[in-house]
Amino acid sequence: MIAEVRTFNDSQQHAGSIPGWRQVYDQMSCGFLTSELRQLTAERFQIFQETVDKRLVQRGFAPQGRLCAAMSLGSAPVVQGQQVGTHSVVLLRDGEEFVLHAPEGMHFFAFNVDMLRFAKLAAFELSTEQLKRLSTRSQLSVAEPLLQRIRQRIAPMFCHLLEQTDSLGSSAEKMLEDELLGAFLDLFSNATEEVRCRRGNITVSAYLVKRCQELIDASGDAPLSIIDLCEHLRVSRRTLQNSFQAVTDMRPVEYLRNLRLNAVRRRLIATPAASQNVGDVAMAMGFYHLSHFAGHYRNLFGESPSETRRANA
């Protein structure tokens, strides 16, 4: 079992440090990022707690063969096109694709278990209606006292095992896995009505933001303009503006530029300076005014492109 507490100043390094998750974290608010990851990863389960002081968009795929749950302990993010409330638990299943828009000060507590093992236990305990939630719900709405009890059962063991690495034996591992399986059974047994979006058309807005992101990713070194995106998606500029504001709290131009700046940063970190200079990387991502690029980069990440640590040759 892996037990560790780590801090980061780079969002993608943080994202790549959680085993089993294929994901990208893009920093969207300005300044030098600071984050912490606390995690336990075993053969059949995983627990992790994330805190990040900058706005992020997280996208990728959950672990294969796992049932995953996450609770927000801070501000409400938007996940899979729905806003996550204080009584909500986000669900991901078996390699499912996800998009999460996390506000500044994100604080998540998440855990996952072997999906097949849980399904066998659920077949004995859950009703037909409750079993439907296992395959159909993206969120569960659960009373706050139950969420508190679940956290109170799991958190002390989680913290103890992080601090006492000599206690990471098979008995401790089994005890914690059993607690997680019991927590999932409690969640599905006690979930109430399906979570509904509180903010009108935020599901449609989140879809438009996601499609813009996919179109930008596919455009390579010829980034699309806002007009191009409106034409592709057959929506007005006002609709696009309102969608980005509702989901990301940013203007489309700023949001999409920040995505490209994150792509530049990832490539700089992954390549030696001798193989590609900063200007080449920037122009490959569609930044042709290098002085403007450098200013935007410094404003977003709190350092100039030349100060970003490059890979060894």
- DSSP lists the bridge partners of residue 27 as 56
* Dihedral, CA of residue 250, residue 252, residue 254 and residue 256, to nearest 10: 120
For residue 84, name the pLDDT band (cuts at 50, 70, 90). Answer: confident
pLDDT digit string, tens, across residues 183-228: 999 999 998 755 454 444 688 999 999 999 899 888 776 778 898 9
Q: Alpha-carbon distance 178 to 174, whole Å?
A: 6
For the chain, what is the mean pLDDT? 89
Tokens 């696009």, located at residue: 240
Fill in the amino acid letter for 260.
R
Average pLDDT over residues 39-46: 94
Smallest CA-to-CA distance from 133 within 148, 146, 119 is with 119
Contact between residue 127 and residue 185 where contact means Cβ atoms under 8 Å apart: no
pTM of the model: 0.88
Q: Cβ distance 175 to 222 under 8 Å?
A: no
How many angstroms separate the CA atoms of 220 and 23, rounded?
19
Handedness of CA 136, 140, 146, 149 (dihedral sign): positive
The tens digit of pLDDT for each residue in 129-170 reads 888 888 888 889 888 889 899 988 998 888 888 887 655 567
Give the C-alpha separation, 195 to 138, whole Å: 9
Locate tokens 């979570």: which residue?
A: 195
Q: Which domains are present in the chain?
A: 2-190 (2.60.120.10), 202-305 (1.10.10.60)
Q: Which is more confidently placed, 113 or 192?
A: 113
Averaged over 97-110, what is the pLDDT? Answer: 92
